[in-house]
Amino acid sequence: MREASPNLTFVPACLPPDPVEVEELQRFVSNSKRLFVMTGAGISTESGIPDYRSEGVGLYARTDRRPVQHAEFIRSASARQRYWARNFVGWPQFSSHQPNKAHLVLRDWEKLGKLHWLVTQNVDALHTKAGSQRMTELHGCTHRVFCLACGDRILRSELQEHFEALNPTWKAEALDVAPDGDVFLTDEQVCNFQVPACRKCGGILKPDVTFFGDTVSQEKVRFVHHRLAESDSMLVAGSSMQVYSGYRFALAAREKKLPIAVLNIGPTRLDHFASLKLNSRCGELLPLILSGLKLFLQGLISERGKLQEAAVRSSAEGTRRGQQASHRSNHTKAIAEIMPKAQQSLHIHHVFICSSRSLDRGAGKHSQILGVCSKFGYSSFC
């Protein structure tokens, strides 16, 4: 997985993060034990994918194009032909986009046990590419396609091969790709494009996304509400929350009196009731939060490996230094106990510290771990 270099073409102008904002968000995240995160198109703009509504740089501000409507796609063969022709042209560029620092940070928060559940309104698969697992794609994902008749599923990359086989001489150029992979083509370009049917039943193929005018399934809505009920705070990143399918969860969080933080360039529907509002780039501000704990744990893992190597060397010196080797072995076992439990704690919000009398610097290391755990909102036990 490659990390995208910051691409600011579709990012609205904003000031660098204010140190006060960094501290406020640090405190917000540190105080959370089960953070519920919702992301929108604004988190992917730094990967080179435009959003719809940002002033000056969003798709609506730059063009008069609008995304396909669900009812139009279902009832009109010409609408499906137009959609798939445009999607076919835009797919190589759209599918090549990579996660940026914001996506990777949220993946790391999940590993650290801070992020309880992630809900994305995006259909670009960048959270999946980043490695997030505790996640719901609220509006689906363009990387999957299914048959409306029999439900058979196929990867979008595989469908691209079928398109190419059916349209060997058809060509068009992608000038500007929308958040859903759509591009602009003229009617003359579209009219000769051939669309494949379902390989099993000959039915209509549709991307596994919720088009505008459609609704998210009640099963998925209930599932997300359950994950929200298990959470103790909510962070919205890169979304103005104009679409009700996502906004409803912010309303539910407010009803539960959960603290809500919003990180978005420009106004949102939550500004009047959010506990914290920050106007910064997601990929610039989020990496500054909780990074210290991640670096500390990485250092501890490295130290564990060095201690294990030292124990192996000392045990080879023979029986003359057997007692010393035994002490070192105990030292190694103690550290070996720290990391699995610490890594396990990344999912239960505690860091367990094991100490040994044979550790000359045990008290210092103990204090250091306690200090870091306390700073980042983790409890610890000896």
> How many other CB atoms are there within 10 angstroms of residue 40's CB atom?
27
Check whether residue 37 and residue 61 sit in a common domain: yes
List the alpha helices (DSSP H) in the chain.
19-31, 59-62, 70-75, 77-95, 101-112, 126-130, 156-166, 187-190, 218-229, 244-255, 282-285, 291-315, 322-345, 362-375
57 is in an annotated binding site: yes
Specify the pLDDT at position 312. 66
Question: Is 42 one of the annotated binding-site residues?
Answer: yes
Is 41 known to sit in a ligand binding site? yes
pLDDT band at 220 (very low <50, low <70, confident <90, very high): very high
Q: Is 323 exposed, middle or buried (CB count within 10 Å of its CB: 0-12, 13-18, 19+)?
A: exposed
DSSP string over 236-299: EES----SHHHHHHHHHHHHTT--EEEE-SS--TTTTT-SEEE-S-HHHHGGGSSHHHHHHHHH
pLDDT at 14: 79
For 229, the token pair is 């009920």
**CATH code of the domain containing 82:** 3.40.50.1220
* Active-site annotation, residues: 139
Domain range enclosing 241: 19-288
pLDDT digits (tens, 9 = 90+) for 293-340: 555 455 556 666 666 676 666 666 655 555 554 544 554 454 444 444
Residue 60 labelled as part of a binding site? yes
User: What residue ranges in 115-217 does DSSP mark as E strands?
Assistant: 115-120, 135-137, 140-147, 153-155, 205-209
pLDDT tens digits, residue range 265-298?
999 999 999 999 999 999 999 999 976 555 545 5
276 plus 368 within the same structural domain: no
Domain limit, last residue, from 240, 266, 288: 288
Asked if 258 and 295 sit in the same domain, the reply is no
Number of domains in the chain: 2
Measured CA to CA, the distance from residue 101 to residue 19 in angstroms comes to: 19
220 in any annotated domain: yes
Beta bridge partners of 137: 120
Q: Tell me, yes or no, whether 166 and 246 share the same domain.
A: yes
Averaged over 163-187, what is the pLDDT?
A: 73
Reported as a pLDDT band with limits 50, 70 and 90, residue 3 is low
54 is in an annotated binding site: yes
69 in the same domain as 25: yes
Look-up of token digits 């509400």: 225
Q: 177 and 109, same structural domain?
A: yes
| Residue 72 labelled as part of a binding site | no
> Does residue 235 carry a pLDDT above 70?
yes
Distance CA 252, CA 247 (A): 9
DSSP state of 317: T
What's the pLDDT score for residue 302? Answer: 67
Show Cβ contacts of residue 93 under 8 Å, excluding neighbours closer than 6 positions: 174, 177
**Residue 2, in any domain of the structure:** no
340 and 328 in a single domain? The answer is yes
Task: Indicate whether 97 and 240 sit together in one domain.
Answer: yes
Cβ atoms within 10 Å of 5's Cβ, excluding its own: 11
Domain shared by 225 and 355, yes or no: no
Mean pLDDT of 345-350: 38
Least confident range of 69-83, 170-184, 249-263: 170-184
